[in-house]
Chains A and B, each alone.
Chain A
Amino acid sequence: MSAWLRNNLWRHAISLFMCAFALFPLYLVVISSFSQTGSLQLTSFIPRSISWHNYSLLFNSPAIPYLTWIRNSLVIAGSVAILSVIIGASSAFAFSRLKFKGKKLGIQLLLLVQMFPAILALAAVYVIMERVYRFASSIGLGTQAGLLLIYLGGAMGVNIWLLKGFVDSIPMELDEAAKIDGASPVQTYWLIFVPLATPVLAVVALLSFIGTFNEFILARLFLVDMSSRTVAVGLQAFIAGQYSRNWGPFAAGSILASIPIVIIFLSLQKYIIGGLTAGSVKG
Chain B
Amino acid sequence: MNILFRGKFALIAKLVILSGIAAILVLLIESALAKREYAIALFLAVSLAALCYTYLSARTVPMKFFLPGLLLLFAFVVAPIIYTVVMSNFNYKTGNIISKQEAITQIKGLGVEPDANGTTFDIVVGRTPSGEYAILVSDITNHIYFLSTATKRTDLLSSQVKLNDVGVATAAPGFTLIPPVKLAGNEDYSKITYAYADKYFISVQGVDVGAVFRQSLRYNATSDTFQNLLDGKLYKDNGRGNYANINASGDVLQPGWRAPNWFSNYGKLFSDRQVRGPLFRVFIWTIVFAASTVLTSFAFGLLMALTLNRPLRGRRFYRSILVLPYAIPSVMSILIWGGMFDTEFGAINNILGTHIAWFQNATYARLAVILVNLWLAFPYFYLISAGALQAIPSELLEAAAIDGANPRQIFRKITLPLLMQILTPLLIASFAFNFNNFNLIYLLTGGGPKDQLGGQIAGATDILISYTYQIAFGSNTQDLGLASAISVIIFFIIAGISLYGLRKSKVLETFG
Contact = CB atoms under 8 A, between A and B. Distances in A.
Interface of A: 8, 11-12, 14-15, 18-19, 21-23, 25-26, 28-29, 39-42, 87-88, 90-91, 93-95, 98-100, 103-104, 107-108, 110-113, 115-128, 131-132, 134-136, 149-150, 152-154, 156-157, 160, 184-187, 189-191, 213-214, 216-217, 221, 232, 235-236, 239, 245, 247, 250-251, 254, 257-258, 261-262, 265-266, 269, 273, 276-277, 279-283
Given A11-B308, A115-B495, A235-B332, 19 more contacts: A15-B308, A29-B336, A41-B350, A88-B69, A91-B70, A100-B62, A113-B73, A120-B465, A123-B484, A132-B37, A134-B35, A153-B76, A214-B330, A216-B439, A251-B336, A254-B336, A269-B323, A273-B387, A279-B429
A29 B339 CA distance: 10
Interface in B32-51: 32, 34-35, 37, 40
Contacts of A251: 336
Contacts of A250: 335
Contacts of A117: 436, 465, 490-491, 494
A122 B304 contact: no
A42 B128 CA distance: 76
Nearest to B497: A115
Contacts of A39: 339, 342, 345-346
Given A22-B379, A216-B443, A232-B331, A8 B312 contact: yes
B300 interface: yes
Interface string B333-356: 101111110100111001100000
A104 B76 contact: no
A124 B322 contact: no
Nearest to B309: A11
A239 B484 contact: no
Given A104-B512, A115-B491, A18 B322 contact: yes
B72 A87 contact: yes
A245 B339 contact: yes
A95 B69 CA distance: 12
Contacts of A98: 61-62, 65
B322 A149 contact: no
22 contacts: A39-B345, A41-B347, A87-B68, A88-B69, A117-B494, A119-B436, A121-B83, A123-B480, A123-B483, A135-B35, A135-B37, A153-B77, A154-B76, A184-B5, A186-B5, A187-B5, A190-B4, A261-B328, A265-B323, A265-B326, A269-B323, A280-B502
B328 to A, nearest CB: 5
Interface in B417-467: 422, 425-426, 429, 436, 438-439, 442-443, 465
Contacts of A282: 505, 507, 510
B475 to A, nearest CB: 14
A122 B81 contact: no
A247 B80 contact: no
A273 B384 contact: yes
B65 A189 contact: yes
Nearest first, the 7 closest Cβ-Cβ pairs linking A and B are A153-B76, A94-B65, A39-B345, A121-B80, A91-B69, A40-B339, A265-B327
Nearest to A107: B511
Contacts of A280: 425-426, 429, 501-502, 505, 507
A120 B507 contact: no
B443 to A, nearest CB: 7
Nearest to B379: A22
B303 A14 contact: yes
B72 A152 contact: yes
Contacts of A281: 422, 425-426, 505, 507
Given A11-B308, A95-B66, A121-B487, A113 B77 contact: yes
Nearest to A151: B76
B79 interface: yes
Contact of A262 (B328, B351, B510): B328
B76 A125 contact: yes
B155 to A, nearest CB: 46
Contacts of A239: 335, 338-339
Contacts of B5: 184, 186-187, 190
A12 B312 contact: yes
A21 to B, nearest CB: 7
B87 interface: yes
A283 B75 CA distance: 32
Contacts of B61: 98, 184-186
A152 B329 CA distance: 20
Given A42-B347, A91-B69, A232 B76 contact: no
B257 to A, nearest CB: 15
Contact of A18 (B32, B84, B304): B304
Contact of B321 (A23, A132, A156, A213): A23
A91 B66 contact: yes
B439 A217 contact: yes
Among A98, A131, A135, A247, find the residue whose CB has the most chain B CB atoms closer than 10 A.
A135
B229 interface: no
B284 interface: no
B64 interface: yes
A280 B84 CA distance: 26
Nearest to A251: B336
Contact of A135 (B32, B314, B321, B480): B32
B269 to A, nearest CB: 15
B469 A25 contact: no
A115 B387 CA distance: 25
Contacts of B318: 15, 19
A180 B61 CA distance: 18
Nearest to A268: B327
Contact of B320 (A104, A126, A266, A276): A266
B28 A136 contact: yes
B254 interface: no
Given A42-B347, A112-B495, A258-B329, A127 B73 contact: no
Nearest to A187: B5
Contacts of A214: 329-331
A87 B509 contact: no
A118 B31 CA distance: 28
A15 to B, nearest CB: 5
B507 A90 contact: no
A194 to B, nearest CB: 12
B221 interface: no
Given A117-B465, A121-B77, A122-B472, A236 B335 contact: yes
B37 A134 contact: yes
Contact of A154 (B77, B83, B351): B77
Among B300, B468, B501, B507, find the residue whose CB has the most chain A CB atoms closer than 10 A.
B507
Among A120, A125, A154, find the residue whose CB has the most chain B CB atoms closer than 10 A.
A120
Contacts of B1: 191
A176 B299 CA distance: 47
Nearest to A18: B304
